[in-house]
Amino acid sequence: MKRPIEKLVTGFSWLCTIMLLGAVFSITGFLFAKGYSSLDTRLIFGDTGILDALLLKKQVFNGLFPAIAGTLVLVVMSVAWAIPVGIATGIYLAEYAGDRVRGLFNLFFDILAGIPSIVIGLFGFAFSVFLHKNVSKAIQPCLLISSIALAFLVLPYLIRTTQVALDGLPEDTRLGALALGATKMQNIFYVLLPKSLSGIMSGVILAIGRCAEDTAVIMLTGVVATAGIPGSLLSSYEALPFYIYYISSQYTTPEELLTGYGASIILLAMCVVLFSAAFFIKKRLTYMAFYRA
């Protein structure tokens, strides 16, 4: 191969790297440069006292507190739905299912993972309208529906990471407890699961991040511009990503737009911290899992 061409290839790869890094740094840099000045407690609590807000004594207006609280509740609820079902399914597919069943279900979950989130949101919306008409007038797009739809969205991640983590265990780990007379179930719950905890945990964190950042599902299933702190499962709520979307087009004053930048920085930081934590915890958890076994 000729030298100039080699140089060209190397140069190209450097160029691509610089372009990608440039894009990322201009995106984050732009956010920070514009939103830096908005970062203080007023951004979150508005004119309300911090204690009053946290103790839910007073409602927060022109602050991000309700949106952050909404996002937190939403994430906790969706993950609470998804984790038991997702991990149970992952265990079944890895340990009990035959090849053909496993193949079929894996196809289903791959498709579910590939369905655009707005389609899942649309399903959630149609489902809530259906329930409203046929089951109870109290049901409508709300926190409950959103969390269930989001659980659908992250289910494949949990199933897949559980399954892969269990599949990846070495054969002698599998056989040890069985040889000592443990039943299949004991082997799974006392040996295999603790060993694959770090893998499962990374799936859980991925799921949390996905729930926190998703906008398409919630904008069809009950998120609104103004709602205050979520009051009940059947009420509408605010959420951070939707707030950013909403402000981006509907801001009325430059100050209001500034809170959009502030919200973006908070959401960005949250998601990046989650991902860094995933790497950190993964190491830690591996250690803990070994310790327990």
* Contact predicate 140/128, CB 8 Å: yes
Instruction: Tell me if residue 115 falls in helix, strand or coil.
Output: coil
Q: Token pair 């007038």 is at which residue?
A: 137
Residues 258-277 that bind another protein (CB under 8 A): 260, 264, 267-268, 271-272, 274-276
Q: Of 160, 145, 76, 71, which is closest to residue 112 (Cα–Cα)?
A: 160
Among residues 180 and 290, whose Cβ is nearest to another protein?
A: 180
Our CA angle for 166, 184, 178, nearest 5°, is 95
Quick check: 284 binds another protein (CB under 8 A)? no
**Least distance from another protein to the Cβ atom of residue 88, Å:** 4
Quick check: 213 binds another protein (CB under 8 A)? yes
* Contact predicate 245/215, CB 8 Å: yes
Nearest-10 Cα torsion for 6, 10, 12, 17: 170
C-alpha to C-alpha distance for 43 and 31, rounded to whole angstroms:
15
Quick check: 120 binds another protein (CB under 8 A)? yes
Residues 6+ apart with CB under 8 A from 37: 258
Quick check: 168 binds another protein (CB under 8 A)? no
Residues 178-197 that bind another protein (CB under 8 A): 183-185
Size of the site for another protein (CB under 8 A): 101
**Least distance from another protein to the Cβ atom of residue 206, Å:** 9
Could you give the C-alpha distances from 43 to 29, 40, 55, 141, 215, in angstroms and in order?
A: 19, 6, 18, 28, 21
Among residues 10 and 41, whose Cβ is nearest to another protein?
A: 10
**Least distance from another protein to the Cβ atom of residue 291, Å:** 26
C-alpha to C-alpha distance for 6 and 86, rounded to whole angstroms:
48
Quick check: 251 binds another protein (CB under 8 A)? yes
Residues 93-112 that bind another protein (CB under 8 A): 93, 96-97, 104-105, 107-112
Among residues 77 and 211, whose Cβ is nearest to another protein?
A: 211
Quick check: 50 binds another protein (CB under 8 A)? no
Q: One symbol per residue from 51 to 90: x for binding another protein (CB under 8 A), - otherwise; what is it?
A: ------xxx-x----------------------xxx-xx-
Quick check: 218 binds another protein (CB under 8 A)? no
Report the b/e string of 134-164 with b at 16+ CB within 10 A: eeeeebbbbbbbbbbbbbbbbbbbbbbbbbb
Among residues 199 and 260, whose Cβ is nearest to another protein?
A: 260
Among residues 79 and 227, whose Cβ is nearest to another protein?
A: 227
Residues 19-38 that bind another protein (CB under 8 A): 19-21, 23-24, 26-27, 30-31, 34
Render 80-101 in DSSP notation, one character per residue: HHHHHHHHHHHHIIIII--HHH
Among residues 237 and 291, whose Cβ is nearest to another protein?
A: 237
Q: Which of 38, 140, 146, 162 binds another protein (CB under 8 A)?
A: 140
Q: Secondary structure of 61-74 in the HEC alphabet?
A: CCCCHHHHHHHHHH
Among residues 256 and 290, whose Cβ is nearest to another protein?
A: 256
